Structure 1
Amino acid sequence: MTERTVSLSWVNSKLSQIFISTRENRKGAEYSQALFRVVAGPVFVICMSAIMATTGNFEISPSQIALYSSIYSILSISILIWVIQRPGEYLSRRVFAMVMDYSAITSIMSIGDSVLLPTYAPLLWVTLGYGLRFGSQYLVISTCMALVSILTATYFNSFLWNYPYVVVAFILTTIAVPTYAHRLVSRTFEAHSQAVQANQTKSRFLAQASHDLRQPIHAISLFTACLRDTGLSSEQHQMVDNIDRSVHSVSGLFRSLLDISTLESGKVQPRLQPVAIGVIIDDLIQQNREAAKWAGVVFRQVPANIYVSTDATLIATVLQNILSNAIKYAPGRQVLVGCRRRRGCISIEVHDQGEGIAAHHLPMLFEEFYQARERGDKDVEGVGLGLAIVKRLVKLLEIEVSIRSLRGRGTSVIIDGLKIAHLVAQADVVQISERKDHSAMKGLRVLLVEDDKNVLLATATLLEKWGCTVQADTGLPKNVAVCDLIITDFDLGANLTGTDCISRVRQLLGRDIPAVIMTGHDVGRILEEPGNENIPVLSKPVRSQELREVVLMQKVKIDELARTDNKERTSAQPDHL
């Protein structure tokens, strides 16, 4: 292999790294500056050559121009490769880049008067660029280097030597413009900091207010579920339905407020795993069945027996917001939910037969607090956060959402880009197949821990109506009876959490007891705690149907553990001849 072939191979490999890493490398300030330098250098040389050709004043030969521009381009490409291969902040790299830039500009300014003024503009631009990209310290350094550049060019350029007022004008401008820019940037940064602080304060307030109001609403929801089974008359049943409908509306608002404040905190990180998307859709339809009944909506579902790689909690939140909108905006109509294969991925589609949305509203539907309203439209509950939450969540999941709608023809929402999961754990298959058997919970022994007495009473009453035997405590119990399932609030006071409670009870009883956590805080934050990865977490206010579904899921685990224990005990017994 010849030396030329080796050189070409090296160049090709480096260029391939540049183009491949362009998509993978985060577009930081240093990267964008290095990339701009590679492009702007040759363009600047072409412009300078055109100016000298127009004026007829060739103060430097074309061969010299080609040599200097080649050296600058090679150094620029080297810095770009350096940034791509070793991203981050390196003082030596920035100093080298600054010396290179100002040396090149000084050399051009020293040539003569024809290119002097066109070169001063890039000098000022480079000076401001370093300061705005990297901070005030670099603005001071770049300004000093620019002044040195002007003085050096004055020494070699006869035009500047003969007209000192031009030099004075350059120096004053070089000092004044960065100083003014620094003041503007400082004020902007201060205003930005205040805005961020105000936004964080708002988010904390929303999260705390949502948490505090969730507790009584959670208790009301469970007491209402208990009230349904007390032999009510038809009129009383109607009143309970009205209460339940109102509680459902309020709980939806609080969930939206908590979801948006959680997303604004930036702490939500998706946990991708194989998920049976058909089961998720089926669960959500069951949970929304009552709300759909109130609105006169009829769900139609296309069965989907496929697994996708996604975060079950986040995708369920996405679909919940979409289904809630379909119920609100298509009363008395049908809503079709199903999946479709598209370009090697899975898309989830929700089609309603509502009044549809006018075309001018579609681009703004994903904005916070935006509601598509026309003159004379009746009021619809909600604050306009549902689709804003959907947009943020699909971005986290690296999938796409789109809306198609025609006035008078209905609306279609499509979640696209879900990757098919080809490997599914056998335990998941068993769990999903057995979940359909909603066996009675009679005799299930439940340890219930909740620091709010009203919520404790409501939850215990509901569980007992389902046939469970309940031991209820407002804190970590001193004496723990034998139990099959632990249901606990997360915040128990006295620096204790639901995680601590579950760990303590499991330690006392000497076995890995299934558990459920209920909370009014961010579910993602709780799942991040060690030991909570496989524990279901319910977000308050919890509807009775949600609680029943999760308890039934845990009952499947309990029965499976019991069968496993029986097999182990049987195999451990000695054989008798």
Structure 2
Amino acid sequence: MTEKNSELDQATLRLTVSTCASLYILVVALLPSSTFATYVPILWYIAFFISVAIPLRMAIKRWPGHFVLRRLFAMAHDYAGISFALVVGGEGALPVYAALLWVTLGNGMRFGSRYLAAATLIALSMLVMIYLLTPFWRGQPYMFVMLIVTTIVVPAYAHILLKRTRIASEEAIAANQEKSRFLAQASHDLRQPIHSIGLFTACLRDARLGREELKLVDNIDRSLHTVSQLFRSILDIYTLDNGKLEPQSEPIHLGGLLQGVVKQNTEAARWAGVELRLRPCPHWVNTNPGLLTTMVQNLVSNTLKYASGQPVLMGVRRKGNGLAIVIYDKGRGIAPEHLPEVFREFYRVRHARDKDVEGLGLGLSIVKRISHLINLDIQLDSKPGKGTRATIQGLEAVAPRTMVDSPASVQSRLQGLRVCLVEDDSNVLMATSALLEKWGCEVETHCDGEGVTSECDIIIADFDLGTKISGSECIAAIREHRGWQVPAMIMTGHEIERIRHELIHMNISILAKPVRPPELRATLLDLTKNLRSTKTR
């Protein structure tokens, strides 16, 4: 975001006011009670004033910045023109005094209290000079005193307001920075236990448990899924409000992205009694995969909440010159009066005898805001009692890339896969290691990334490993030692878009904690697809 050029705005307003002043003087000069010749010098001076103001504005636009001498010259130029009009025009030029106040306040409001003080002193000096040079003003001492008092009082009050505004702004900035630091730290600290609980639950599900125990594990997993969804919604809103999100587009296989969303929601769909159906999609698009996944995930979560017990169909179709993702459900639908409001934060459609549907009412708000961020359009069409259709349109189709192997052939690659796991949180390290071993991987664990060497096939590391070394630096060191680009992924509790932007050149897959086991497994499988070809290069 570019910084606002206040001096350029002042220069533009200077030309506007001088043009208005010339029109006013011309009207006064043409009045029957006026002598036209009296105002001719003023009109000529305004023409000269504008001839200087135009190149001054051009110079400000060409060389923006804080140049004290240029600002002082502009102020002197303004006051000289106003003074000439008041001296020559006499009583008829009295309204031009408003321009003097404008110059004084304008410089103070745009450039700060020091310029306000300087402008006030110059204005008072000009008024004294006008009084001494003009018989009309010497004959109006009380009016002149009023102008002097106004020139002092108005800027003085403006200075008080400026000071209060500056203090309030500084306090607001400090509070916002403190809030950002707190949320960033709380985000990281809260992600870790949620992440580890999810992995431990996945390990328990694969253990030899009885029916009752598995039911308990299922309930734990369901509650954890709800917490994760709420947590991610709050963090998404915080990230969007922060205004630091700079989405990067890349070619992605749309069918694979949607298949990933379906896999991540398999358990949630089972709990809701929903059959998630996905039509095969061969298309590739150019977009930000993380943000598009968040949009689709939030829409799918809504269907699981409000269309439980009904089938949900997801697919892709052509629309105009692009592609659109369409999600159909056969839920109870949304009444027409609610449709314009559903994208507002915390807005939830409630029905009589409605059960307490989980959520904060942030999902669709996040979808709408992300759609603006990545230049997509989201539409909802709904009929009460028949269902809802959500459409994400505006996706740009690109040429297909090489397709991945079949799920069965890729799945077999996890057996015997050597994984180097680097994580400084002992619970996360234990849970991730146990889950990977249940999937058939051979896991080598490290709680510190410093000095790690490994003959692994894949590296999994936390981004924040303490003060000595980061996860990306650990991966880079292992790759340098091995002499080839070992496939790697980072799981982080920090802002994922910031980390992705920092590591864009390192070819590292990045997942945001808390990571669901299906998401971890899918990413791990994806990293194995080019493992052999990477080794041979």
Fold match, TM over 0.5? yes
CA distance in structure 2 between the aligned counterparts of 1:89 and 1:394, rounded to whole angstroms:
38
**Alignment identity in percent?**
44
1:544 aligns with 2:517: yes
Q: Are 1:487 and 2:464 an aligned pair?
A: no
Give the corresponding residue for 1:38: 15
* Equivalent of 2:86 in 105, 109, 112: 109
- Could you list the per-position Cα deviations for residues 227-267 of structure 1 after superposition, in whole angstroms to 9, with x for gaps in the alignment? 22224444443332221111111112222333334444444
1:184 counterpart = 2:170: no
477 and 80 in structure 1: CA distance in 2 versus 1, 3 angstrom threshold? closer
2:513 is equivalent to residue 513 of structure 1: no
Over 3 Å counting, the alpha-carbon distance change for 1:145 and 1:343 in structure 2 is: farther
1:158 maps onto 2:130 in alignment: no
SS in 2 for 1:434: coil
Q: What is the Cα-based RMSD across aligned positions, in Å?
A: 3.3
Counterpart in 2 of 1:8? none
Q: 206, 212, 237: which is aligned to 1:260?
A: 237
Q: CA deviation at 1:218?
A: 1.1
What SS does the corresponding residue of 2:34 show, helix, strand or coil?
coil
Structure 2 equivalent of residue 523 of structure 1: 496
Amino acid at match of 2:102: W
Match for 1:500 among 468, 473, 477?
A: 473
State the SS of the aligned residue for 1:492.
Answer: coil
2:448 is paired with a residue of what secondary structure?
A: coil
Distance 1:402 1:549, change over 3 A: closer
Q: Which amino acid aligns with 1:511?
A: W
Tell me, yes or no, if structure 1 residue 447 matches structure 2 residue 447.
Answer: no
SS at structure 2 position matched to 1:541: coil
User: Contact conserved, 1:51 with 1:114, CA < 8 A, in 2?
Assistant: no
Q: Does the CA contact (< 8 Å) of 2:275 and 2:310 recur in 1?
A: yes
CA distance in 1, matches of 2:516, 2:59: 56
Distance change (3 Å), C-alpha of 1:117 and 1:311: same
In the alignment, residue 258 of structure 2 is paired with which amino acid?
Answer: I
Question: For residues 391 and 44 of structure 1, do their structure 2 counterparts lie closer, same or farther at Cα, with a shift above 3 Å needed?
Answer: farther
Contact 2:317–2:323 (CA<8 Å) still a contact in 1? Answer: yes
Partner of 1:4: none
Q: Normalising to structure 2: TM-score of the pair? A: 0.87
Aligned positions of 1:61-140 closer than 5 A: 64=41, 67-140=44-117
What residue identity is the alignment partner of 1:196? I
1:498-537 Cα shifts (integer Å, max 9, x gaps): 1232123233434321111111112233334458631011
Would the aligned equivalents of 2:410 and 2:529 in 1 still touch at CA under 8 Å? Answer: no
SS in structure 1 at match of 2:411: coil
Unaligned runs of 5+ in 1: 1-23, 566-577
Aligned mates of 2:87, 2:388 — CA distance in 1: 67
1:473 and 2:434 aligned: no
Whether 2:411 is the aligned partner of 1:434: answer no
Residue 114 of structure 1 deviates from its aligned partner by 4.1
The amino acid that maps onto 2:129 is T
**1:315 corresponds to 2:287:** no
**Residues 451 and 493, structure 1, Cα contact 8 Å, conserved in 2:** yes
TM-score, structure 1 normalization: 0.81
2:506 maps to amino acid: E
Q: Would you say 1:210 and 2:187 are equivalent positions? A: yes
Label 1:480 to 1:113 Cα distance change in 2 as closer, same or farther (>3 A): closer
Corresponding pairs, count: 534
- State how far apart, in whole Å, the 1-side matches of 2:70 and 2:281 are: 55
- SS of equivalent residue, structure 1 residue 483: coil
Distance 1:269 1:348 in 2: 23
Show the counterpart of 1:558.
531
Whole-angstrom CA distance in 2 between matches of 1:521 and 1:219: 16
Indicate the residue corresponding to 2:227 in structure 1. Answer: 250
